Structure 1
Amino acid sequence: MRYAFFITIFVLLQLFSAGAALSIQWWLQPWITQTLQTIVWSAVFIITNGLLVLSVKRVFANSYRWVSGWMLIMHFILLTALVVSFLYGGYWLVVSLIGETGYGSNTLSLRLRALAVVVFLGLFIFSLYSAYVPIVRHLSISIDKPLAKPLRIAVASDLHLGRLFGVTAIDRLTRLMNSTRADMLLMPGDIMDDNTDAFNDYSMENNLAELCANLPYGVYATLGNHDLYGHERPISQALRDADVHLLNDDVFCIEHEGQKVWLVGRFDNHKRQRVATIDLLAKVDTSQPVILLDHRPSDIDEHSQLPIDLQVSGHTHNGQVFPANFIVSAINRLGYGYEAIGQGHFVVSSGYGFWGIPFRLGSRSEVWLINVSGNAD
């Protein structure tokens, strides 16, 4: 399986490289020479495979970011070529229908290349904006359980706290919690970006502690796969030191307006010894509201048959960069968004942060605000 993954990545990188080289060659067409064409093709493939080798050999820290970043650049080059080709075809269709001659070939060629630059830069700017400027998605659900007054639950999954997403992002989340008047914040996994190095270097503990102190019922979290890649203990300790209540295969009961609400948290399935959901539910009174934090949405079908009122998940990032969102949708029962299934309500967030590189296209950094109401008697 591991070899199949690496072979797939290698083949994709070569295909991306060929497409990017062809696109750059088109852009340079008015000035191209045989020598320049050779340089373009050689440079693209040397960069691609050089970064791949450095990443596999782990020559420097976070080398995967360089491969991901270069792949994103090539992806945007290809998307630019597709957009410009589509607009060019549309232009000639309109010209042919109205009988106009259009621009001269040289003028049109230069305008198309100028448009390509604008599209390429636009994709970069928009993707950065989508990664760093979150949107609040509002949802109201009703459950058939006792709940005298609505409970306002904020959900921020997949923060991936690290060098590219840290203090500023936590402080922004604190402001969002204050403005939305959330009762609690749930963070279903991937809180850290693999380790606590940046968290400690930039003293994020104080900012996270302030976030926790600003919520009436506090912050509750489970660990995701990126929290379990060899640094589970320091990550868990760092979160607890900041007053985050960790639910690692555990349950916790809060009182909301005199009524009990149960929070159930699971380890990500990267943890092979994790407790089954049904065993965790045996510890709670399921006649009262039950909210589950489960990093991956892979068990939604099973959970829809259990007395769970609300499940919040993340992990998928909604693909993060188009067209991966279509893949996420195809391989998951619910890859992103909200759906009422069976006995419960299910929310899969695209995440508040991002993985690897700070770009989102076809997805958005987000926080969910879920207003849960129940029976008044």
Structure 2
Amino acid sequence: MRYVFFTVIIVLLQLFSLGAALSLQWWLQPWMSSTLQTIVWITVFVITNGLLLLSVSKLLANSYRWVSGWLLVLHFMMLAALATWLLYGSYLLIMFLSDIPNYSETLAFGLRVLALIVFVGLFVYALYSAYVPVVRHRTININKLMQGQLRIAVASDLHLGRLFGSGAIDRLRHLVTRHQADMLLMPGDIMDDNTQAFMAYNMMENLVNLGAGLPYGIYATLGNHDLYGHEQSISSTLRDAGVQLLNDDVLRIEHQGQAIWLVGRFDNHKHQRVATTELLAQVNITEPVIMLDHRPSDITEHSKLPIDLQVSGHTHNGQVFPANFIVKAINRLGYGYEAIGQGHFVVSSGYGFWGIPFRLGSRSEIWLLTVQTAPSVAVQS
């Protein structure tokens, strides 16, 4: 499977390089000579395969960021050229129907200016979508009796590191405080592979303050990026910050004098993780059950179990278009909310990002879930 992944990445890089070289060739056409054309093609493919070789040989620190960043540049070049082509095609149709001459040197220059504006605009918008979160509200009506409402904030996939740190944690604290959340659930990928940046930039204090502002605190599970060789240091660091870790574990809390069960699973990168049925055997399933499971891959199975609410992340909703369509195709629920079977399921696109600080077709977000007894159940009681 790993070799298939790398093969797909290599093929994509070559295809994106081809598309970007053709886009650049069109953009530079008024000044294009055979020499410049050769330089454009060689430059694009040399950068692509040079970064690829440096990544494979591990000679470049954070090579995945450089490869991802270059892939994004190529992608945005093609998107800018495509958007310009579509607009020009619409213009040609109008001119044809109006029987008006449809081309001039001014138009050619204007199209290239437009392509540059679209290219820059994509970067600005994608950066904004990565760093400026939106709050998504949802009321969850469960078929069990509970006292009052429980307000749950969900922030998955923070990937705390050099590009997403103290400021992001403080922004999260401001959001959960403003929306009066009772607790914060973080279903995995809290750190960006290790705790180096977290400690270097002294994010501990920010995370402690975040938890202190919540009546019931913070509960979390570990995701795949938290298990890439630094599980122990990440776990101890989070516990030191006051985060309650639920790694194949259950916890009973009280809300307005009534029991609420929190169930947390390891990501399936942990091959020896406990089965969900074994965890549920430790809880009173007649009381509300809330599960944190990093990946949404077991939603179909979990929809048949007495789980009232499951929160997940991992998919990032593709992070960059058109990957969101791939996420949707390979998951029962790749993003968003759906009531399935016995339970309610929320898959977040994540509060942070992976690799590079850009999102297109997805958005940095937190969910604010108001959990309460379904009106029909309340009436029957």
* Corresponding residue SS for 1:338: strand
Tell me what 1:60 maps to: 60
Tell me what 1:7 maps to: 7
| Partner deviation per Cα, 1:292-339 (whole Å, 9 max, x = no partner) | 000000000000000000000000000000000000000000000000
Map 1:180-329 to 2 at 5 A: 180-329=179-328
TM-score (structure 2 length as normaliser): 0.97
* Corresponding residue SS for 2:101: coil
| Partner deviation per Cα, 1:186-233 (whole Å, 9 max, x = no partner) | 000000000000000000010000000000000000000000000000
**Cα offset, 1:51, TM superposition:** 0.3
* Corresponding residue SS for 1:169: helix
Tell me what 1:32 maps to: 32
CA distance in 1, matches of 2:20, 2:45: 10
CA distance in 2, matches of 1:238, 1:264: 21
**Cα offset, 1:3, TM superposition:** 2.2
CA distance in 2, matches of 1:94, 1:320: 36
* Corresponding residue SS for 2:137: strand
Amino acid at match of 2:64: Y
| Partner deviation per Cα, 1:218-249 (whole Å, 9 max, x = no partner) | 00000000000000000001100000000000
Tell me what 2:125 maps to: 126
Tell me what 2:157 maps to: 158
Tell me what 2:86 maps to: 86
* Corresponding residue SS for 2:297: coil
CA distance in 1, matches of 2:320, 2:222: 24
Amino acid at match of 1:90: S
Amino acid at match of 1:33: S
Amino acid at match of 1:299: D
Amino acid at match of 1:37: Q
CA distance in 1, matches of 2:115, 2:184: 42
* Corresponding residue SS for 1:145: coil
| Partner deviation per Cα, 1:248-281 (whole Å, 9 max, x = no partner) | 0001111111111000000000001100001000
**Cα offset, 1:62, TM superposition:** 1.0
CA distance in 1, matches of 2:100, 2:148: 66
Amino acid at match of 1:214: G
Return 190-199 or 366-375, whichever deviates more: 366-375
* Corresponding residue SS for 2:65: helix
**Cα offset, 1:6, TM superposition:** 1.7
| Partner deviation per Cα, 1:7-50 (whole Å, 9 max, x = no partner) | 22111111111110110011000001111111100000000000
**Cα offset, 1:4, TM superposition:** 2.2
Amino acid at match of 2:339: A
**Cα offset, 1:283, TM superposition:** 0.6
CA distance in 2, matches of 1:3, 1:313: 27
Q: Among the aligned pairs, what percent are the same residue?
A: 71
Amino acid at match of 1:109: A
TM-score (structure 1 length as normaliser): 0.99
* Corresponding residue SS for 2:74: helix
CA distance in 2, matches of 1:46, 1:146: 63
Amino acid at match of 1:120: F
CA distance in 2, matches of 1:229, 1:368: 27
**Cα offset, 1:100, TM superposition:** 2.6
**Cα offset, 1:146, TM superposition:** 1.6
* Corresponding residue SS for 1:146: coil
CA distance in 1, matches of 2:224, 2:236: 17
**Cα offset, 1:61, TM superposition:** 2.1
Amino acid at match of 2:135: V
CA distance in 2, matches of 1:210, 1:173: 11
CA distance in 1, matches of 2:68, 2:293: 27
**Cα offset, 1:99, TM superposition:** 2.6
* Corresponding residue SS for 1:109: helix
| Partner deviation per Cα, 1:118-160 (whole Å, 9 max, x = no partner) | 0000100000000000000000011111212011000000000
CA distance in 2, matches of 1:291, 1:94: 56
Amino acid at match of 1:152: R
CA distance in 2, matches of 1:258, 1:147: 9
CA distance in 1, matches of 2:288, 2:214: 20
CA distance in 1, matches of 2:230, 2:224: 11
Tell me what 2:47 maps to: 47
CA distance in 1, matches of 2:229, 2:70: 27
CA distance in 1, matches of 2:183, 2:3: 43
How many aligned residue pairs are there?
A: 376
Tell me what 1:109 maps to: 108
| Partner deviation per Cα, 1:57-77 (whole Å, 9 max, x = no partner) | 111321110000000000000
**Cα offset, 1:116, TM superposition:** 0.3
Tell me what 2:75 maps to: 75
Q: CA RMSD in A?
A: 0.9
Amino acid at match of 2:13: L
CA distance in 2, matches of 1:4, 1:351: 26
Amino acid at match of 2:201: Y
* Corresponding residue SS for 1:136: strand
Amino acid at match of 2:52: L
Tell me what 2:362 maps to: 363
CA distance in 1, matches of 2:97, 2:34: 38
